[in-house]
Amino acid sequence: MRAIDRTRRSWAEPYKIKVVEPIKMTTRPYREERIREAGYNTFLLKSEDVYIDLLTDSGTGAMSDNQWAGMMLGDEAYAGSKNFDHLAEAVQTYYGYRYIVPTHQGRAAEHILSKVMIKQGDTIPGNMYFTTTRLHQELAGGRFVDVIMDEAHDPQSEHPFKGDIDLNKLQSWIAKVGPERIPYVSFAGTVNMAGGQPVSMRNFREVHALCRKHGIKIMLDATRMAENCYFIKMREPGYADKTIAEIMREACCYSDGATMSAKKDNLANIGGWLAVNDEETYQKCCNLLVVYEGLQTYGGMAGRDMEAVARGIEECVQDDHIRARVGQVEYLGNLLLQEGIPVVKPIGGHAVFLDAKRFLRHIPQDDYPAQALAAELYVESGVRAMERGIISAGRDPETGENYHPKLELVRLTIPRRVYTQAHMDVTAESVVALWDRRDRIRGLEFEYEPKMLRFFQARFRKKE
Ligand code: P71
Q: Rounded to the nearest whole angstrom, what is the distance from the C-alpha of residue 192 to the centroid of ligand 1?
A: 9
CA 258 to ligand 1 center in whole angstroms: 15
Q: Which of 30, 78, 403, 456 is catalytic?
A: 78
**Does the annotation mark 78 as catalytic?**
yes
Cβ(187) – ligand 1 distance below 6 Å? no
- pTM for the model: 0.96
pLDDT in tens, 22-48: 999 999 999 999 999 999 999 999 999
* Residues 353-405 pLDDT 10s: 999 999 999 999 999 999 999 999 999 999 999 999 999 999 998 899 999 99
Mean pLDDT over each residue of the chain, to the nearest integer: 97
Based on the residue annotation, tell me whether 455 is a catalytic residue of this protein: yes
Question: How many A from CA of 261 to the centre of ligand 1?
Answer: 7
Does the beta carbon of 192 sit less than 6 angstroms from any atom of ligand 1?
Answer: yes
- Strands 217-221, 257-261: pairing is parallel
State the pairing for strand pair 123-126/143-146.
parallel
CB atoms within 10 A of CB 432: 16
Among the listed residues 84, 95, 99, 130, the single catalytic one is 130
Q: Is 107 in the pocket of ligand 1 (CB under 6 A)?
A: yes
Handedness of CA 304, 420, 324, 353 (dihedral sign): negative
Q: Is the pLDDT of residue 464 over 90?
A: no
Angstrom distance (rounded) from CA 117 to CA 403: 26
Residue 398, number of CB atoms within 10 A of its CB: 7
* Percent of the chain at pLDDT exceeding 90: 97
Place 144 in a pLDDT band, splitting at 50, 70 and 90: very high
